[in-house]
Structure 1
Amino acid sequence: MPKVSVIMPNYNHAAYLPERLESILGQDFSDFEVILLDDHSSDNSTDILEKYASDKRISHFIINESNSGSTFIQWEKGLSLARGEYIWIAESDDIAAPRFLSEAVEVLDRNKDTGVVFSSSVWIDENGTEIHRPGHESGDRRWSGSELVRSEFLNGPLIYNASSAVFRKNRVAGVDFGTLRTFRYTGDWMFWVQVAAGTRVVRLDRRLNFFRRHAGNVSFKSEREGLLFTEGFRVIRYIYAHYPIPFAVRRKTALRWARKIGNAEIPAGLPPEVRLYHRLFRIFT
């Protein structure tokens, strides 16, 4: 049985697949399987994926006959096929440093109470050129899951890029995929809240993940369409329903998100900004 199952869901990322797959197969840790899932891409993704399908580390190569409409359907499918103790959901447009898996696995092997390890990231553009190193990701950190949910996850998805994380497969027992499938863009935030609960989470201060930022990013679409707010509120309400959050923290959260809304360009079709403010304070105070 492989130690790690690498799940790589893909949709229309043909331009990035060779570099992505080489970064997976070129890891200096070798005890892994790769599950390739293509969600009925309309570009030449499947032609590229087929060139790698004969690699002995590719345990599954599945092309959907129609588009599933949900990233999380693909995640759930990959998890159902995974045989590894640990899971890496390697998004198809990102890149990993060669030591990404070995360093993450070392932490998980050494710390049985740790369920999730993620690394700091370098942001890159379409051409692989570095554009940003998020300053808030400096320093090794270790949280209890409940502490993380009550603090960091009220501010947004701390693990904002699945490619940066490796986690124990048994952590997905608490994930409600039925609910995740109702999210269009910010379900990964809910996913990590549910995976992190009841375990410890470690961040490595080594920038071993290269997060590609381009016009097709789900996060960009989320921001443009205002779903960071409308779907993000659902995640925060979930946290409030399942964890004891002091009033002072709720108030601080409401003010923080009100400022975010005030600074955001609210797209047409969403409630007017004043109603969003009202909704925030009504929910969180």
Structure 2
Amino acid sequence: MKVMHNSSTSDRYTKNIPIVSIIVPNYNYARFLDIRMESILNQTFQDFEIILLDDHSTDNSVEIIEKYRNNPKVSYIDINKENSGSPFRQWKKGIEYARGKYIWIAEADDSALPDFLEKTITALEATPSASVAFTGSETIDENGDPYGRDIDKWYKKSPQKTNGGWMAFNGKEYVVHNLYWHCYVYNASMTIFRKEYYSPDLLDDSIKMRNAGDWLFWIKITAKGDIIEVYEKLNLFRLHRKSATVAGIMSGNNVWEDIKVMKYVEDHFNVGKYRKAMRLGQYIKVLRRSKQYSPETRRKMMNAIRTSLGVGMGTFRMERINKMLSFIPFTLTQQKDRL
């Protein structure tokens, strides 16, 4: 169900093009929707439209969404009659509706500080070559209480040492040195991207995934331009048992998809044999030590890595030796390689 509000909204839709299109994809997050919407409506940067999408929720999400039908910031409401089966189909649909220069996929269970848009848009406007900008995140639980974990791990990077609290990097180099090792862009809500760098095919492979599809998308769109890191925790990333992030870890599905993403980078970028060996050795180490999977599941995962990526236990031993020698300047680790 695609709905414009009324005649006055329709006139504004055709005449006034917003700078930012904010897509709010929702599925059974009624309990968080009001918090999310207030965090958007209270942004210090106000030149935006909101596109509300519901993927056939079974809770009272639609009732909450209807409260915002006549809000002048809301340009589209789309309620699916059937579940799409993929959050990335919803992303794709929302981007088709979007008119803004920039896209913010603001997940319905997350929140943001009031200056999130102001600071990301400032950095993007100052860097026309940038396809993506992202901030840090505070992790919160279902009740909004902080976890107190630092996922960003910026180490020596700080606002005092950067251009107004942010830095831009060449996108292809960022993929090889950063995103190959780890999805530093770990939450869509922390990210703004420039629409001109987007094309629908960038999400085609992601639609087939449940967990690592966002990682693959950020790799593809980052490689089209530059990427900006904004060194402030302006996003509130909610971790709870029903979140896609947690569900993927619990099921083990994230591992199979991680392998596909790493293979994509190796096939499309020059990562080099040394970096590949260290990256995969690191991944094998984490997998072997994980207590979330049964020995049989781990064995199947190890076989999948060996088959798909062509590496075995020798790579794991190489990574261990490399880490022991990490004090030597030319040895490669994730921390040393990170731009």
Matches within 5 A, 1:177-196: 177-196=203-222
- For 2:19 and 2:118, the matched residues in 1 are separated by 11
Matches within 5 A, 1:35-46: 35-46=51-62
Aligned to 1:91: 107
The answer to whether the 8 Å contact 2:202/2:221 transfers is no
| Equivalent of residue 34 in structure 2, options 14, 18, 30 | 18
| Equivalent of residue 280 in structure 1, options 302, 305, 320 | 305
Aligned to 1:111: 127
Q: Does 1:166 align with 2:211?
A: no
Partner deviation per Cα, 1:62-115 (whole Å, 9 max, x = no partner): 110011110011000000000000000000011111100011111111111111
SS at match of 2:67: helix
Matched to 1:274, the amino acid is: R
Shift of 1:275: 4.3
Q: Does 1:235 align with 2:266?
A: no
Matched to 1:13, the amino acid is: Y
With normalisation by structure 1, the TM-score equals 0.95
**Per the alignment, do residues 91 and 48 of structure 1 end up closer, same or farther by CA in structure 2, a change over 3 Å counting?**
same
Matches within 5 A, 1:106-255: 106-132=122-148, 133-134=150-151, 136-137=153-154, 139=157, 140-173=166-199, 175-255=201-281
Matched to 1:179, the amino acid is: D
SS at match of 1:181: helix
**Per the alignment, do residues 212 and 102 of structure 1 end up closer, same or farther by CA in structure 2, a change over 3 Å counting?**
same
The answer to whether the 8 Å contact 2:43/2:117 transfers is yes
Matched to 1:228, the amino acid is: N
SS at match of 1:209: strand
| Segment of structure 1 superposing worse, 144-153 or 173-182 | 173-182
SS at match of 2:88: helix
- For 2:110 and 2:254, the matched residues in 1 are separated by 22
SS at match of 1:159: coil
Q: Does 1:65 align with 2:90?
A: no
- For 2:258 and 2:144, the matched residues in 1 are separated by 29
The answer to whether the 8 Å contact 2:136/2:230 transfers is yes
SS at match of 2:198: helix
Partner deviation per Cα, 1:141-199 (whole Å, 9 max, x = no partner): 43211111112212232111000011101222274332211112211111101110131
With normalisation by structure 2, the TM-score equals 0.80
- For 2:208 and 2:222, the matched residues in 1 are separated by 20
Q: Percent identity?
A: 34
- For 1:232 and 1:137, the matched residues in 2 are separated by 23
The answer to whether the 8 Å contact 1:174/1:194 transfers is no
Aligned to 1:5: 21
The answer to whether the 8 Å contact 2:25/2:90 transfers is yes
- For 2:184 and 2:306, the matched residues in 1 are separated by 23
List runs of 5+ in structure 2 lacking aligned partners: 1-16, 158-165, 312-339
Partner deviation per Cα, 1:10-46 (whole Å, 9 max, x = no partner): 0000111111000001111111000000001100111
Partner deviation per Cα, 1:242-271 (whole Å, 9 max, x = no partner): 111110001001111001111223546x96
- For 2:250 and 2:154, the matched residues in 1 are separated by 24
Matched to 1:258, the amino acid is: I
List runs of 5+ in structure 1 lacking aligned partners: none
Matched to 2:232, the amino acid is: R
SS at match of 1:256: helix
Taking only aligned residues, the RMSD between alpha carbons, in angstroms, comes to 1.7
Shift of 1:284: 5.0
